[in-house]
Amino acid sequence: MVGIFCRKEAGGDEEINTCGGNIFRFRSKMEVASLNEHTRRPALSRFAFLVWIAATALAFFASNVAVTAQEPLPSAAEIFKANVAADAPLLNPFQLRAQLEVDGSQIADLTLGWSGGAIVSLQARLSTMPGFGEIAAALRPSGFALIKVGSSSQVLAPLVPYSQFLELLPRLANRALLADIIDSLASSARLIGETEIQGRRAYIIEWTLQPQAILAGMKTSLTRLATDDEVASLLADMGVPLDQVLEAWDVEIPEFIEAISADSALPPLTYRQYVDAQNHVTLKNEVDIPEDLQSDELLTPFTPQVELEEIITGEDGQIEKLVWHVTLDLPVQELVYIYATLADTVVTTTADAAAEAESNEAANEEAPVDSQSPSLALDLRITLQRVGGGYLPAEISGRVRADRAALSVLEALQPLDEGSEELLLAPEPSSEPVEHTFRLTLRWDTTRGAEPALVEDTRLLDAERSWQQAQAAVQADDWEAAIPPLARLTRQVPTFVLAHLYLSDAYEKVGEIWSAIGELEQVVMLQPQNWLALNNLAYTYVDHDIDAERGLELALEAYDLVPDPAPAFLLDTLGWAYYKNGQLEAASWYLEESSIQLTEENKAGMYEPEEYAEYAGILHYHLGAVYAARGMYDQAKVHLEISLQHDPDLTEAHELLTQVNEALAEAPAES
């Protein structure tokens, strides 16, 4: 049977559909909303670790904003709220221009604009792509996008399935919510003294972050979001049911803490912040890594050297620019042994190097690579510029150096043999290093946003309007009215697969079968592995007796593309295709499997009552037809009567039941 609505996994008016390898969720048959199946229990172990890191980084950012209150210094939450937590969303309009130079030559020049509500524009010139000229793009909240490459341009609909996420994004990323997150953290800040940095008097503030308190704060924020019905509904439609996330949180978080900490609690993180006494700008930071943090020794080689190199003040005495010098020199052997430790493997050298190490009594068995081993080095200068009331990066420049031998060592790193837990480290003699200089210049403009000429392009807006009109018509179940906007949309956005699928369904509803076939063939051409289109095309060919052989081929292709168990409607299509090709035993087997699967899907709440009745009526009619063709009239009668119980108006079932009853009536006389 035709399956425009492929899979349904939730009650009510919500349906989950799998189309072309992507999972969509339709509400009222048309509104695309979902990213993932939301019946699965969220896996939070890795997610929790990332949340811990992100929350710690967020708190660190909060501590580095300008302090405006007078002494005594306020708490972390008060500092954050005073400087960041304005009434306007965090995603206010802004524009960023970035220019990248490598070895003195400009590589890229791009401008990114954001106007809030997922209205984005991007313009770029890339010297590494000659012949393309300027590249430009725009994204609307509806999920429609405009792409320009050189003189050519095209409207796309790549993010339409994620339109609810685009609608949700501005609701989540706003200053008020971030302020609530910070306010819920149980971090502490205290003034422990004063010092002098480059002739400037600075306060010393000691911050203590409790990771468990951060996780508790994150849970508090999730709980607050769950109480917002509109936000919670949007997240649930997208496959993120907050109630299930919160339920899993209480199970996964303790397991996560136990996995990474020897203690039952995560160790605290303490760092000292040196704040200019006049302008309250951070001049320096010192971080104390807890001794009982299991990754302490592993992270030590990655610790960069950071130095405040320059402070520039304006005529009003405010700091206008800060320049930081950051250096990092990482021997490749350290990287190798870190990898080995994390992977629980053993590192050995080549046979010659191992023999030499054995003969050398001073050799360090834990680090068999000599002290001249290759390394990766980074030398950066980061300039922070005052923009409004805060400080943003204005320039990042420096050089990166890698010994050629370092690259060859990493490439040669491999298991000694299949299944071995040892790694082979085969360093080559030192050679001239590979070195590049770079300079990234950033220009921030908080008065401008997305480029209007791009996000308000006529073709982009016209396609968006066509989609809105089509949605309204389908939701009203007016398929005839849906055809004009859908047909127009397929011309405006030829690659918009979902529009072709709905247009094929609309044509089928009004009886224009060949037009429906044309749209489905277009989808198969665009997405050869779109099993939904293959199924619908197969069913149309066989059910209308157009090309039964082609229909069976398409049905088998669709069946091979889906995991077990295949959905009931696909099994029905395959069974019906076998019937139309005269392969009756195969037909009855697949149709019986379809009946079993349809029952299971209905028990799982995948169908509305009227929808289940429609599917069941067609399926049992198909079973009746197959058994009638096999001369098994008793079974045929049973299935036809079940078919009419579900759909009393199914004309084909009435006609076939009459023929079956006549055959049964004649059977005794023949015997």
SS3 per residue for 410-450: HHHCEECCCCCCEEEECCCCCCCEEEEEEEEEEEEECCCCC
The DSSP code for 88 is S
Residue 48 structure tokens: 């929790």
The DSSP code for 146 is E
191: confidence class by pLDDT, cuts 50, 70, 90: confident
Q: CA-CA distance, 354 to 352, in Å (whole number)?
A: 5
185: confidence class by pLDDT, cuts 50, 70, 90: low
HSE-CB at 428 with a 13 A cutoff on CA atoms is: 14
365: confidence class by pLDDT, cuts 50, 70, 90: very low
pLDDT at residue 662 greater than cutoff 80 = yes
Instruction: Find the range with the poorest average confidence among 45-59, 448-462, 560-574.
Output: 45-59
pLDDT at 283: 85
In DSSP terms, 15 is beta-bridged to 26
The DSSP bridge pattern shows strands 422-425 and 346-349 to be parallel
291: confidence class by pLDDT, cuts 50, 70, 90: low
Q: What is the DSSP string of 15-60?
A: EEEEETTEEEEEETTTEE--SS-TTSPP--HHHHHHHHHHHHHHHH
For tokens 């992100």, what's the residue? 54
Count of residues for the chain?
671
Q: Identify the residue with better confidence: 271 or 348.
A: 271
pLDDT at residue 661 greater than cutoff 70 = yes
555 in helix, strand or coil?
Answer: helix
144: confidence class by pLDDT, cuts 50, 70, 90: very high
pLDDT at 380: 94
pLDDT at 226: 84
Distances (CA, A) of 121 to 17, 108, 147, 448, 525: 31, 16, 10, 11, 31
Percentage of the residues of the chain whose pLDDT score is greater than 90: 41
The DSSP code for 160 is G
pLDDT at 221: 79
Q: Which residues contact 245 (CB under 8 A, 6 or more apart)?
A: 42, 44, 222
Q: Identify the residue with better confidence: 265 or 614.
A: 614
Q: CA-CA distance, 622 to 603, in Å (whole number)?
A: 22
The whole-number average pLDDT for the span 540-561 is 95
2: confidence class by pLDDT, cuts 50, 70, 90: confident
pLDDT at 331: 73
Find the radius of gyration of the CA atoms of the chain. 33
Backbone angles phi, psi at 560, to 5 degrees: -70, -20
Q: Whose CA is closest to 523, among 558, 574, 549, 482?
A: 558
Instruction: Find the range with the poorest average confidence among 10-24, 425-439, 546-560.
Output: 10-24
pLDDT at residue 27 greater than cutoff 70 = no
The whole-number average pLDDT for the span 164-190 is 70
pLDDT at 51: 45
pLDDT at 227: 82
pLDDT at residue 379 greater than cutoff 90 = yes
Q: What is the pLDDT of residues 521-534, one digit of tens each?
A: 999 999 999 999 99
Question: Which H or E run includes 614?
Answer: helix 609-629
431: confidence class by pLDDT, cuts 50, 70, 90: low
The whole-number average pLDDT for the span 240-255 is 85
584-603 and 568-580 helices, crossing angle to 10°: 160
Our separate counts of H helices and E strands in the chain read 23, 21
Instruction: Find the range with the poorest average confidence among 185-199, 220-234, 260-274, 290-304.
Output: 290-304
193: confidence class by pLDDT, cuts 50, 70, 90: confident
Percentage of the residues of the chain whose pLDDT score is greater than 70: 69
Backbone angles phi, psi at 203, to 5 degrees: -75, 150
Q: Whose CA is closest to 243, among 66, 425, 446, 42?
A: 42
Amino acid letter, residue 203: Y
Amino acid letter, residue 65: V
pLDDT at residue 208 greater than cutoff 70 = yes
Q: What is the DSSP string of 90-116?
A: TT--EEEEEEEEETTEEEEEEEEEE-S
In DSSP terms, 274 is beta-bridged to 204, 284
pLDDT at 183: 66
The DSSP code for 73 is P
Q: Identify the residue with better confidence: 181 or 141.
A: 141
Q: CA-CA distance, 241 to 133, in Å (whole number)?
A: 45
SS (H, E, C) 178-247: HHHHHHHCCCEEEEEEEEEECCEEEEEEEEEECHHHHHHHHHHHHHHHHHCHHHHHHHHHCCCCHHHHHH
- Distance, CA of 407 to chain centre: 32
Residues 367/337, Cβ–Cβ less than 8 Å: yes
The whole-number average pLDDT for the span 652-667 is 91
Instruction: Find the range with the poorest average confidence among 215-224, 257-266, 366-375, 563-572.
Output: 366-375
Q: CA-CA distance, 26 to 8, in Å (whole number)?
A: 9
Q: Which residues contact 663 (CB under 8 A, 6 or more apart)?
A: 628, 633
Average pLDDT, the chain: 77
Supply angle C-alpha 355, 361, 367, rounded to 5. Answer: 70
The whole-number average pLDDT for the span 246-273 is 78
Q: What is the pLDDT of residues 470-507, one digit of tens each?
A: 999 999 999 999 999 999 999 999 999 999 999 999 99
Instruction: Find the range with the poorest average confidence among 218-222, 511-515, 540-544.
Output: 218-222
pLDDT at 413: 52
